[in-house]
Chains A and B, each alone.
Chain A
Amino acid sequence: MELVRFDLPQDTKPPSDLMAELHESHQVPIGCGGAVFRWRRRSDGFRMTLYQHCFCRSRLILDGVEPPTTLLMFSFDRHALCFELEASSDSLVGFVVAAEEADVVRPHNWMFLEDFVPPPTYRVLSKPDGKWKFTRTRPANDDWLRPGFDDSQWDTLVAAPGIELGSVGRQHRWLARRALELGGCYLTTPPDDGSHPPTTAPPGQHDTPFRESPSADRSAEVRLWVRHEFVTGPEAELKLP
């Protein structure tokens, strides 16, 4: 097996309504050096590569489904990106998320730059903008995982101060770095929600440095349900200039 980048037909296949996508072995279950090549319609939406890091145990759910890969397919629609977080204390509740529109291979155009039209760029970023909501009460059903759920009564996550990449385990550091580079921000619970367990630093004052810890796996005294709703499409607010 030659471990080379998968070749694309863009230099031979004429332009059409279809687009070719390449999914490499670090993105999908294939095996070292493998790649999946697929064709799909442009109107189906677009895909984004997700970078995330949590200091605690987490489960990511997009529109009610756990994504099988870090390449997420988005239709032009409203979406809900949700987390279930478990930690031994609030001082370990800290996560960063950044999803960036993945490379779009446009047959033919890729090789002939005069025809090349850059694809619109979308990003989904964890930010203290009031749009990342959480609750400490288990939702009654799965409606919260889907777009359109009323989370107006939920609390709002805030920026987690003082997090350094050095506190992130080496295995996950590149994910955290990439998420931060793209503009993501570590979020955590606010200092004044009064729910912090007494075993941690004073409520909201995360002077205990965030650090990946095996204790996060041993007990889960803090459980959070987090959701972020956003819209993709030509008029979406997330579309970058």
Chain B
Amino acid sequence: MTDLRDPASLYDLGRELEAAGDLRGAAEAFDSAYGVAPDNPTLIGARARVLDRLEVREHGLVFRYIPRGTFLMGSQAGDPDEQPVHAVTVSDFWLTDVSTSWEAYCRLLGWQAPPIGLPDGKSLQSGAEKECVFMFWTHLLRQYCEDETLRAGDPSLHWPLDPARELPAERAQRLRAGSVSRSDPSRPWGYGQKPLVGVDWSQANYLASRLTTPGVLYRLPSEAEWEHAARGGLSGAPYPWGSDPPTAANCDFNRFREFSLQKSRRFSPNGYGLYAMAGSVWEWTSDWYDAEYYRHSPRVNPSGPDTGKQKVIRGGSWADSADAVTVSFRMSRRVRAAPEGLFSCGDCPNIGFRLARVDRGVSKSSSDGFHAPGS
């Protein structure tokens, strides 16, 4: 019989399951062991190897495997809505290793590439009201989502026209207003390395629904899934990397005065291979927000209240203090009614999202996780 609290026994079980080709079972066993002995190098290596083998690359995105597991959700030291701390079990799923970029969002929806970023091949000049909606949105994105941009400024400056074709009036305007400061001005303007921001919940959900097939479900993670993933397999730690407070060397946070995003993969990933689960941008989840939810939520795959006005966002952002970038801090944002024929665009340069992925019909349910032989 395997002692499920003994990391050595769990490690042996993981090796058995891996040898038998049950990678998911092995990942769960190794992950459980890691929660007890996170400093064991042999275990760390075995766990990372299996998680890497379970990684899925689809649609140009990297989906990291999050094993089924039980973790303590919430924080006794956190805000009242993070309490009580309670055990939650979530099924396995995949989560993109970074927040969705503007380049990926446009590419996956078949829109024009940034910095135009418009659907249906329409141009900015047509003046239609619906395009004005997007125009304001893209002004925001150009300031914050460009790979090398060091600081948001006048939106007109963030439009990388070909100098040879730039009109005199536009050139004059640039001369008056200045120029954009970029970390490497020689690089082409790019939009694939920073998170997409200014995303409303409906926009995030729209991409997930467009990608979903009969075999694979894409969606926003539930709040419990998000927190499980953010913890990276560590038990009880307030940050994805452990208990040490965030610093400028491991987290994009507390830079409100700088008005910029850092590249998503700039800092080390957590134990599941996920980047920037603390700081950078708030991330949408699928759950409605309820401050009292933890007092009565289901202990297996909780999916939030049935109704509400605000959806939960998690993770904190580049503008927030260290207290708000913990794995347990809860925040919410109103879900807007979509204008006719469109979804609603967001307006915050510190809210983005990442996609969860579930194999339809083959995800391990809460009851069919690994079982120790003879248990």
Contact = CB atoms under 8 A, between A and B. Distances in A.
Given A1-B133, A31-B143, A6 B331 contact: no
B165 interface: no
B349 A36 contact: yes
Q: How large is the interface on A (under 10, 10 to 19, 20 to 34, 35 or more residues)?
A: 20 to 34
Nearest to B316: A39
A35 to B, nearest CB: 6
| SS class, residues of chain A in contact with chain B | loop
A40 interface: yes
Contacts of A3: 136
A37 B320 CA distance: 8
B319 A36 contact: yes
A14 interface: yes
Nearest to B79: A16
A33 B347 contact: yes
A138 interface: no
B348 interface: yes
A38 interface: yes
B324 A18 contact: yes
A16 B83 CA distance: 13
List 5 tightest A-B contacts by C-beta distance, closest first: A39-B324, A38-B319, A1-B345, A14-B80, A31-B139
A28 B152 CA distance: 9
A9 interface: yes
Nearest to A24: B347
Contacts of A40: 256, 320-321, 323
Given A1-B136, A30-B143, A32-B136, A13 B291 contact: yes
Contacts of B139: 31-32
B274 interface: no
Given A1-B136, A30-B152, A32-B136, A39 B321 contact: yes
A38 B349 contact: no
A13 B329 CA distance: 11
A1 B79 CA distance: 31
Contacts of B151: 29
B276 to A, nearest CB: 17
Given A14-B80, A29-B153, A30-B349, 16 more contacts: A1-B133, A3-B136, A9-B310, A12-B310, A13-B291, A14-B79, A14-B81, A16-B79, A29-B143, A30-B347, A31-B143, A32-B136, A36-B256, A38-B320, A38-B321, A40-B256
